[in-house]
Chain A
């Protein structure tokens, strides 16, 4: 097994659990307050990383800028997804639509980084994106008595 699939699976599991914990949070407080404390947890985690791990100190400018941009892009994406929901978009439609984001990553990685996928990998990527969209579609709620 490739090492990357092990780490990707761990990411998938942790992010999957956040789907539940986030729901437990936003059932009690506003999405903005929830997002704020999500960010504070990131700061706390980074503090722990700084103390316990020993990150590289000498880094190139391009990779540093890309890492910082990663945080900004991901955080702003979360914020704009809230805006989409608050602008009248149905949750089922908005969340399914934004699940298309890996498609853009695939296109950009192929065009700009020269990545190449085999036929099976291409089929897998398409299936994965379709699966993410279908999984995001909540089952219709039964009318409450």
Chain B
């Protein structure tokens, strides 16, 4: 997530995020599974994407409402309680999965996923603290959604990835946006 889960997400966002995220917001990197081509007026992937926008967009709103009476630490506990049913569902799905990755790769993958969760959760706490400190949801949400700029910079510096022209433009716009939103 990215986000998230985000996140990422994201994250994660959480993100993501989940992803992205995340995961905030979530960045999925494995190629999507091939699906049979059939005529559809409203493709399923578009439906899921719109549902994602609605879920994450509403998350920003309810977080602001919660920040009027909950501190960031209590929110982290309650947030995790909200995540619990999904955890059970995903655990069941993973239990049924048969994967052929080696034990070493699996452990490495789990390590990075766990670290993603810790960082994503830390990001959640700071996101919520920004709202507690009086940040408007209509400003904090767009600012924190700029997390791909950090991902892109890290990929540029440490993974030696090359940026496309659109990503460079995005990076410049991101700095301009942060300046405008912080004055």
B65 touches A29 (CB 8 A): no
Q: Could you tell me the dominant secondary structure of chain B's interface residues?
A: helix
Q: Given the complex of chains A and B, what is the CA–CA distance between A122 and B27 in angstroms?
A: 27
Q: Given the complex of chains A and B, what is the CA–CA distance between A115 and B135 in angstroms?
A: 11
Counting chain B CB atoms within 10 Å of each CB, the highest count among A15, A91, A132 belongs to A15
Q: Given the complex of chains A and B, what is the CA–CA distance between A96 and B88 in angstroms?
A: 29
B55 touches A80 (CB 8 A): yes
Query: What are the interface flags for A94-117 relative to B under an 8 Å C-beta threshold, 1 for contact and 0 otherwise?
Result: 110111111111111110110101
CB within 8 Å of B: which A118-145 residues: 120-121, 123-125, 127-140
Least CB distance, A134 to chain B, in whole angstroms: 3
Chain A residues near B44 (CB-CB < 8 A):
87-88
Closest to B34 in A: A88
B20 touches A78 (CB 8 A): yes
Indicate which residue in A19, A43, A49 contacts B12 across the interface (CB closer than 8 Å): A19
A8 touches B55 (CB 8 A): no
Q: Given the complex of chains A and B, what is the CA–CA distance between A124 and B140 in angstroms?
A: 11
A88 touches B16 (CB 8 A): no
A8 touches B83 (CB 8 A): no
A80 touches B109 (CB 8 A): no
Contacts A80-B49, A135-B151 supplied; 4 other A-B pairs, CB < 8 Å: A15-B13, A15-B21, A45-B117, A87-B32
| 5 closest Cβ pairs, A-B complex | A16-B150, A41-B117, A104-B57, A71-B82, A19-B151
